[in-house]
Amino acid sequence: MLPKAHLHLHFTGSMRPATLLELADKYGVHLPEALTGGEPPQLRATDERGWFRFQRLYDLARSCLREPDDIRRLVREAAEEDVRDGSGWLEIQVDPTSYAPRLGGLIPALEIILDAVESASRETGLGMRVLVAANRMRHPLDARTLARLAVRYADRGVVGFGLSNDERRGMARDFDRAFAIAREGGLLAAPHGGELTGPASVRDCLDDLRAARIGHGVRAAEDPRLLRKLAEKGVTCEVCPASNVALGVYEKPEDVPLRTLFEAGVPMALGADDPLLFGSRLAAQYEFARVHHGFSDEELAELARQSVRGSAAPEDVRAKLLAGVDDWLAAGPAVRRAPGADTPRAGAPGGRRVR
């Protein structure tokens, strides 16, 4: 299995489908067929109706996380899935505001999450940290509160600060003070941009929020000057190809501009985004690059290296993972292409795995 880092995974979206079904039954939550069927929904979130549907499904799934044990289970299982996919480092993204009402408030919610991450890391051996993300749909003052909270817990496992939800709502500059607080507190800035809107969204993240990483960023491919800027600054784009297709950002797998970014020298970290909704986890994103874009083993290894370099992992973890990538390449084609070496464990590339 090719060693790698996972830098774009949302909290509720990391849940196993079988776990969601069990929790929904436990709490009497009625789930629509889109969350219970064998195929991931085609959400087409590039229009208002599609994004509303995506958000509704996500909110329904999140409503099934009500007790600390539910949080601990989700985090442990997310870690187990990442380990199986060859990940040695995971930065899971969460807005604790969404879980606070059921977990006793904002601070207790974040502490429960961080304790769960610490336990899961210890039990699985996976390096695991948290990226606290503000919601673009909320007031910028809420983002400042979250940024201060994230900084407060920087020594407890918070490594970054993000900005998620519909990037068509709210200007990046509205959140500049929150990101300044996070950066001044030593946190990595990693807002979403360049997914549902074009290159200007990525540029705003760079100029207004001084992003060190961009969540998604694929629409930068439409602007050669912006690509050069990303490459020169070494800003990593957390590219989630299966998600891009499911949300209708691109019509088909071959349209995702993986080659364009790669050949422009833009660092990439492939991510699963929301496996619960999109039906594929981390290793499947690498298989996506191999099958639909012809990435060779050497190029896949370079993608894995870029994910490690773009992470907030400490130097010893980075060194171990990078050495593991070299070992994977040196093992030879027969070992690299063995079943399970870096492919989804059921179905075609990007296919849903239901436990």
Is the distance from CB of 231 to CB of 214 less than 8 angstroms? no
Structure tokens at 280: 């594929």
Residue 343 lies in a domain: no
Range of the domain at 74: 4-336
Cα separation of 290 and 300, whole Å? 8
CB under 8 Å, gap of 24 or more: what pairs does 350-354 form?
350/242, 350/245, 350/253, 350/278, 350/279, 350/280, 350/284, 350/287, 350/288, 351/279, 351/280, 351/284, 352/17, 352/38, 352/39, 352/40, 352/279, 352/280, 353/279, 353/280, 353/281, 354/17, 354/18, 354/38
> In which element (H, E) is residue 229 found?
helix 224-233
Q: Is 298 a catalytic residue?
A: no
- pLDDT tens by residue, 199-218: 999 999 999 999 999 999 99
The pLDDT tens digits of the residues spanning 279-307 come to: 899 999 999 999 999 999 999 999 999 99
- Number of domains present in the structure of the chain: 1
CB 122 within 8 A of CB 79: no
In a domain, 350, yes or no: no
* Residue 352 domain-assigned (yes or no): no
Query: Is position 341 within any domain?
Result: no
Confidence of residue 349 (pLDDT cuts 50, 70, 90): very low
Q: Which of 195, 263, 302, 315 is catalytic?
A: 195
The answer, yes or no, to whether residue 332 has pLDDT greater than 80, is: no
* pLDDT band, residue 347 (cuts 50/70/90): very low
Q: Tell whether 202 is covered by a domain.
A: yes
CATH of the domain at 45: 3.20.20.140
Residue 208 resides in a domain:
yes
Q: Does residue 223 lie within any of the structural domains?
A: yes
CA angle 187, 80, 35 (to 5 degrees): 90
> Could you report the per-residue pLDDT of 112-169, keeping only the tens digit for each?
999 999 999 999 999 999 999 999 999 999 999 999 999 999 999 999 999 998 888 7
pTM of the model: 0.92
Q: Is residue 126 part of a domain?
A: yes
Contacts of 186 (CB under 8 A, 6+ apart): 151, 154
Work out the angle at residue 295's Cα, subtended by the Cα atoms of residues 338 and 244, and round it to the nearest 5 degrees.
105
